[in-house]
């Protein structure tokens, strides 16, 4: 069992010092050793308070159905060390252990942007990232919330009036939804968020 992970740099800063990441590192090594001859994809979900997330089980089941050793780990800042682990440390950990990509959830969808090397057009326009591809030492941010909402809106809201819409929540996902709604040609968009500065 790893007791402490050390080493690496992230934009010139020392990284990977939190003991809480040790169990994630051990589980990654165990899974990789168990399936040495299959295609492996290592992905994580970055957020706070995500220990009950069903995302890993769903993604790993889909991977098995497609014959891929899909390893999906939670990188919950609340469950690491003393809970004060920094986002840049989590990103450095992911790079150090060879993650292929990351999903990003609350509260990091906007905070992560300055730590990335490149943004897709959608992520840049929205100002929110929910997916990071780690390739060749680079971090590339994308936003799939936009596409997901836009497609469901087009499919499921046929015939609905679009003259006035109330959007509850203007955080990372809310920004993507607002962008999709405005793109779709709604008349007026009203925003409400408990954090007034975001609305």
Q: What is the pLDDT of residue 13?
A: 29
Q: Is 109 a catalytic residue?
A: yes
Prediction pTM value: 0.75
Tell me the C-alpha distance between 99 and 139, whole Å.
11
Element (H, E) at 48: none
9-108, CATH topology level: Rossmann fold (3.40.50)
Tell me the C-alpha distance between 45 and 112, whole Å.
13
- Digit-coded pLDDT (tens) for 129-161: 999 999 999 999 999 999 999 999 889 988 888
pLDDT tens, N- to C-terminus, the chain (199 residues): 222 223 333 333 223 333 445 555 555 555 555 555 567 899 999 999 999 999 999 999 999 999 999 999 999 988 776 666 789 999 999 999 999 999 999 999 999 999 999 999 999 999 999 999 999 999 999 999 999 999 998 899 888 888 999 999 988 889 999 999 998 888 999 999 888 776 6
Q: What is the pLDDT of residue 91?
A: 95
Helix axes 145-156, 172-183, angle to 10 degrees: 50
> 139 has which bridge partners?
134
Rounded to whole angstroms, what are the CA distances from 154 to 150, 160, 172, 177? 6, 10, 21, 13
Sheet containing 138-142, strands listed edge to edge, beginning at the edge strand earlier in sequence: 69-76, 40-47, 101-104, 131-135, 138-142, 118-119
Of 25, 114, 37, 21, nearest to 69 by C-alpha is 37
Tell me the C-alpha distance between 54 and 89, whole Å.
24
Q: How many CB atoms lie within 10 A of CB 48?
A: 15
Active-site entry in 96, 103, 105, 109: 109
Rounded to whole angstroms, what are the CA distances from 150 to 48, 55, 163, 181? 26, 21, 17, 7
Q: Where do the structural domains in the chain lie, given as residue ranges?
A: 9-108, 146-192
Tell me the C-alpha distance between 183 and 46, whole Å.
28
Q: How many CB atoms lie within 10 A of CB 81?
A: 14
């Amino acid at each position: 069992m790893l007791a402490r992970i050390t080493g690496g740099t992230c934009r010139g800063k020392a990284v990977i010092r939190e003991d809480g990441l040790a169990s994630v590192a051990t589980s990654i090594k165990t899974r990789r050793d168990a399936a040495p001859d299959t295609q492996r994809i290592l992905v994580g979900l970055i957020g706070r308070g995500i220990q009950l997330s069903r995302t890993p089980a769903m993604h790993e089941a889909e991977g098995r159905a497609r014959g891929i050793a899909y390893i999906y780990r939670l990188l919950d800042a609340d469950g690491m060390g003393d809970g004060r682990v920094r986002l840049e440390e989590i990103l450095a950990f992911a790079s150090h252990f060879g993650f292929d990509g990351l999903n990003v959830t609350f509260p990091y969808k906007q905070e992560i942007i300055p730590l990335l090397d490149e943004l897709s057009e959608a992520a840049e326009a929205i100002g929110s990232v929910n997916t990071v591809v780690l390739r060749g030492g680079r971090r590339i941010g994308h936003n799939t919330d936009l596409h997901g909402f836009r497609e469901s809106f087009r499919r499921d809201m046929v015939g609905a009036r679009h003259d006035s819409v109330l959007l509850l929540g203007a955080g990372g996902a809310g920004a993507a939804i607002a962008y999709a709604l405005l793109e779709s040609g709604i008349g007026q968009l009203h925003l409400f968020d408990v954090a007034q500065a975001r609305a």
